[in-house]
């Protein structure tokens, strides 16, 4: 077989590019500088650190000592917090502060800032001993250690005291001004007597004998309804002057006990109309001087009389 001879090509042969032996372009040099130079420098610094004693110490400090130092700081913070909590929970801080304040107040007392005068205004029925006990002062006490707000709160619990004002006047005076409740009636409930105000507040359960001229109300919730009854009786003085006591029946209506030992039974509603009728009977027919024990006005169309020792009689209208 005859070999085919390859004819030479008449096209121009491609030239191979020679590798550049000069410096790389500026962009490539910058890239190489950014990529390779820090690694070379870091390697050099690391080797220099580890080559010397100071370098090895710095490496140990940065890798180990800082870690243990942060853990120790956390432990100290936890232990310190626990210690502070223990001081407060155990009362050590409070006792220490009290001792410091006591020494401060003592020094101020020695300087003349102590209680020497107690002025009281507005007292009429309230006990002076109870007021002084509520204030809680004695001559010579440090005046700056006295708390006027706490003293007022204690005074509000004293019988007859409706309001109080406590003022500390430096260097040595405490002024107390009280406003007393005005006794309105005597309330009897479950065998106990209480002085009450017009609004139904219980004033005191002591010293009631000096208020024997006040009207008496009896029964559950009678102290709350006494003001409304008094307002109605004030419009009928002929009735009010004859009432010795009023009993609140089932918290619904009133029974009036008259000074002539006659019982007047008022209705639960239309009380005004019943009082107008009763006042007319007193003025025109003098029913309170008649021999009756009960005047029953609970029925709207009639008044029923119960004679003393007799049977009940009654009829329509006011003539019965």
The pLDDT of residue 110 is 52
* pLDDT 10s digits, 279-292: 999 999 999 999 99
Report the pLDDT averaged over residues 29-46.
46
* pLDDT 10s digits, 128-142: 999 999 999 888 888
Does residue 319 carry a pLDDT above 80? Answer: no
* pLDDT 10s digits, 59-85: 655 666 555 556 555 556 666 665 555
Integer angstrom CA distances of residue 10 from 13, 16, 27, 269: 9, 18, 41, 139
Does residue 259 carry a pLDDT above 70? Answer: yes
CA 275 from centroid of its chain's CA atoms: 45
∠51-56-61 over CA atoms, to 5°? Answer: 155
Q: Which two tokens stand for residue 98?
A: 């009290």
What whole-number distance in Å separates Cα of residue 310 and Cα of residue 320?
Answer: 15
The pLDDT of residue 43 is 47
DSSP letter (8 states) at residue 23: P
Report the pLDDT averaged over residues 234-252.
95
What whole-number distance in Å separates Cα of residue 110 and Cα of residue 155?
Answer: 29
Q: How confident is the model at residue 232 (pLDDT cuts 50, 70, 90)?
A: very high
Structure pTM?
Answer: 0.61
Report the pLDDT averaged over residues 73-99.
56
Q: How confident is the model at residue 2 (pLDDT cuts 50, 70, 90)?
A: low
Domains and CATH numbers, the chain: 112-180 (3.10.20.310), 185-316 (3.40.50.11690)
Region of poorest pLDDT, from 2-16, 72-86, 166-180, 263-277: 2-16
DSSP letter (8 states) at residue 5: P
């Amino acid at each position: 077989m005859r070999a085919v001879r390859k004819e030479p090509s008449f096209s121009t042969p491609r030239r191979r590019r020679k590798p550049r032996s000069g410096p790389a372009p500026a962009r490539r040099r910058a890239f190489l500088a950014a990529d390779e130079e820090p690694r070379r420098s870091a390697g050099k610094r690391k080797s220099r650190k580890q080559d010397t004693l100071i370098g090895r110490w710095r490496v140990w400090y940065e890798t180990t000592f800082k870690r243990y130092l942060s853990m120790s700081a956390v432990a100290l913070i936890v232990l310190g917090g626990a210690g502070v909590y223990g001081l407060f929970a155990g009362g050590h801080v409070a006792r220490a502060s009290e001792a410091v304040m006591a020494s401060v107040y003592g020094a101020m007392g020695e300087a003349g800032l102590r209680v020497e005068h107690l002025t009281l205004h507005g007292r009429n029925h309230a006990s002076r001993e109870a007021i002084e006990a509520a204030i809680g002062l004695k001559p010579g006490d440090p005046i700056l250690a006295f708390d006027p707000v706490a003293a007022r709160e204690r005074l509000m619990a004293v019988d007859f005291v409706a309001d109080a004002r406590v003022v500390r006047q430096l260097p040595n005076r405490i002024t107390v001004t009280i406003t007393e409740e005005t006794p309105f009636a005597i309330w009897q409930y479950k065998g106990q007597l209480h002085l009450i105000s017009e609004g139904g507040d219980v004033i005191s359960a002591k010293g009631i004998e000096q208020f024997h001229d006040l009207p008496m109300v009896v029964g559950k919730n009678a102290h709350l309804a006494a003001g409304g009854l008094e307002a109605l009786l004030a419009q009928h003085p002929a009735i009010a002057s004859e009432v010795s006591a009023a009993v609140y029946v089932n918290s619904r209506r009133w029974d009036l006990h008259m000074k002539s030992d006659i019982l007047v039974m008022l209705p639960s509603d239309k009380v005004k109309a019943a009082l107008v009728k009763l006042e007319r009977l007193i003025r025109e027919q003098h029913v309170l001087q008649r021999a009756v024990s009960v005047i029953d006005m609970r029925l709207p169309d009639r008044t029923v009389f119960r004679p003393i020792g007799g049977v009940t009689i009654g009829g329509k209208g006011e003539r019965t």
